[in-house]
Amino acid sequence: MENNYEKLEKKIGISFKDKSLLEKAFTHKSYLNEHRNENIEDNERLEFLGDAVLELASTKHLFLNYPNKQEGEMTTFRSALVRGNHLAEIGEKLDLGKYLLLSHGEEKSGGRDKKYILANTLEALIGGIYLDQGYTEAEGFIKKFILVELDEITKKGLHIEAKSQLQETCQEKEDFTPYYEVLSEEGPDHAKKFTVGVYIEDKLVAKGEDSSKQKAENKAAQNALKIKKWK
């Protein structure tokens, strides 16, 4: 179960004192199913910690750098920064999938490229940096690789959540509030896939698929906006 993290450490500009934290950050829970006799831990606890560190660093950055923004707008910006798709893109740029420890089944199903796995792994890496190097170093990593994208996010309007945009536009144009229904739920707990439909006046307008109901709803809203040409 050895992995050479030297290239990654060079890329992020951080040399871990405790390499076992790096290994833990890249251990997907599916890997444990095939290595039950080994004394190893998956990355979910580090992900939980990294998520909190990311939220704090993002909140602090927005508070200090956007003094004229109100709470609602800053919350929208923060949501865009920590959104799974955005984190997955950063994970892809850092080539995090290369270092993942996965089960054979997850490997075959393309686990190294799955967006939710990459996003979760990035959060776990942040948690590992925080434990190994402290908050200041973790905040520096977040600023360098995640917060730097904020201008691009706002320029492209990616901070506007699709569900909110669809609801506002639909109420304005058709005087109706769209609603969502789960059409199917497949896969094991560690690799769920939800298919959600968005309806306007009882008519199915679009579908969306993702690893959670909320994300699938947002995908369905994005697709509905395209289909209705409201975006």
Residue of 51, 106, 210, 217 with catalytic role: 51
Cα 202 to chain centroid, rounded: 31
Q: Name 185's bridge partners.
A: 194
Q: Is 123 a catalytic residue?
A: yes
Cβ burial of 161 (10 Å; 0-12, 13-18, 19+) is middle
Q: Name 207's bridge partners.
A: 197
Cβ burial of 152 (10 Å; 0-12, 13-18, 19+) is exposed
Residue of 42, 47, 123, 210 with catalytic role: 123
To the nearest 5 percent, what fractions of the chain are helix, strand and coil? Answer: 65, 10, 25
Please give the positions annotated as active site.
Answer: 51, 123
